[in-house]
Amino acid sequence: MGQPQYQVTDPATGEVVRTYPFASDADVEAALRRATDAFEPWRDRPIEERVQITRRVAALFTERAEELAALIETEMGKARVEGLGETQFCTDIFTYYADHGPDLIVPRPVPGHPTARIEYRAQGPIVGVMPWNYPYYQVARFAAPNLIVGNTMVLKHAENCPTSALAIADIMRDAGVPDGVYENLFATHEQVAAIIADRRTRGVSLTGSERAGSAVAAEAGRNLKKVVLELGGSDPYIVLDTDDPDAAAETAWTFRIENVGQACNANKRMIVMADVYDDFVAALARRAAAMTPRRPGSRGGPGEYSPMVSRRAAELLLAQVRDAVDKGATVHAGGTLLDGPGAYFEPTVLTGVTPQMRAFHEELFGPVAVVYRVDSDDEAVRLANAVDFGLGASVWSADRARAEAVASRLDAGMVNVNTPSSEAADIPFGGTKRSGFGRELGPLGIEEFVNKRLFYVQP
């Protein structure tokens, strides 16, 4: 199950700051009962009122940004400046669904049948199982569309992020979300399985690891529940050509080091053409070697790296890097876990990775950039598609037609040309293969947990 309770452990120091007990079975039953009882009144409430409340949620994320950012700095090590950016993204997401959600679920006519329409109807209590790497953003993209649709939610957050989970629950309450519409539970894994199996819940959304996704999908399947999964990624970042390898490396490194590399859709595999490769690797290595640990009190800057989420996570990353090096890979910078109780892993540039190494097949969830050398567009595509993940991808070239041709051949849920990522509140997010299925955000995100009901009147 992991740690024996919900617990805040500062990854900069290893200090246990605060603990919370797991929910009792009685707590779980009470939350399910409230969510069930609240559903029909919330669904039937005028959508204009749900929109107004959702706007207030958006405003409170902005009003409380400093407090919220401070909480996750202690919980999972995120630099204050990145935490503030995350809270702003939450405001954007709730605002987007308040602005556009009602139009996205307006009944649609069925072409050729003037008396038929497709309605988008709320379904009931939906279970959310959330991760630690973006404690607010991940909740926002789950909660915002469900508020507008009229579903109620039972949410289980990551066990190392209880204070941010409580802060979100406070925002919901203070914004006017009725009791039972948003239920936060410090549930165990066994209790989550029971909640998914309970006949009162109608679906489940999980963001997390492949292992967690497999377990949740199996439980949902056994109980015939709709499931959305956003799992791991090992996104290819293909550099076909550039007149400025140093600038190209700057863009690639800035994206890779965001959240200390702990992002599902980070550019974990950089695939670079041979004529650019040496200069690109050297430029990456200079940037990695120049970074220094961000110590408590610093809000974070481009030359600093934060601790990873935990010492254990850093040790797992170190084992992956050592496996690669032992089998012939080359470390150009970094590769060391700093001594002490903290979770500071030196930003790392790794080359020479082969299919015999863990680093080729596994997600490297931390500040490690793996760079591959290729000699043709076809080789780049084969390498990009060689892993079981399929979350995002990006292709770079001064010749946009060439980049688009390569990008069109990639097996991924999100493909970008000449930009690292197209993340925005109105852009759908999700993957394929072992990166999961379903979509969040944008017009697709609001459709996942609705009954697309046919309403037909005989002419």
Longest Cα–Cα distance of the chain, Å, equals 76
Domains and CATH numbers, the chain: 7-231+434-456 (3.40.605.10), 236-424 (3.40.309.10)
Please pick, among 82, 183, 264, 346, the residue that the annotation labels catalytic: 264
- pLDDT of res. 4: 73
**Assigned token pair, 44:** 């039937």
Token readout for 228 is 């959305």
pLDDT computed for residue 296 by the predictor? 79
Q: How far apart are CA 432 and CA 392, in angstroms?
A: 9
Backbone angles phi, psi at 20, to 5 degrees: -140, 140
For 399-428, the pLDDT digits (tens) are 999 999 999 999 999 999 999 999 999 999
pLDDT at 10: 97
Question: Which residues is 450 bridged to in the sheet?
Answer: 122
Catalytic annotation on 264? yes
Q: What is the pLDDT of residue 3?
A: 62
**What is the distance between the alpha carbons of residues 281 and 330, in angstroms, rounded to a whole number?**
11
Q: What is the predicted pLDDT for the residue at 1?
A: 41
Amino acid at the residue 342: G
Regions of the chain short of the pLDDT cut 70 = 1-3
Q: What is the pLDDT of residue 302?
A: 86
Which string of DSSP letters, residue by residue, matches 26-58?
A: HHHHHHHHHHHHHHHHHHHS-HHHHHHHHHHHH
**Of 183, 230, 258, 346, which is the active-site residue?**
230
Of 235, 239, 233, 253, which Cα lies nearest the Cα of 395?
Answer: 239
Calpha distance 416→428 (Å, rounded): 13
Beta bridge partners of 270: 237, 371
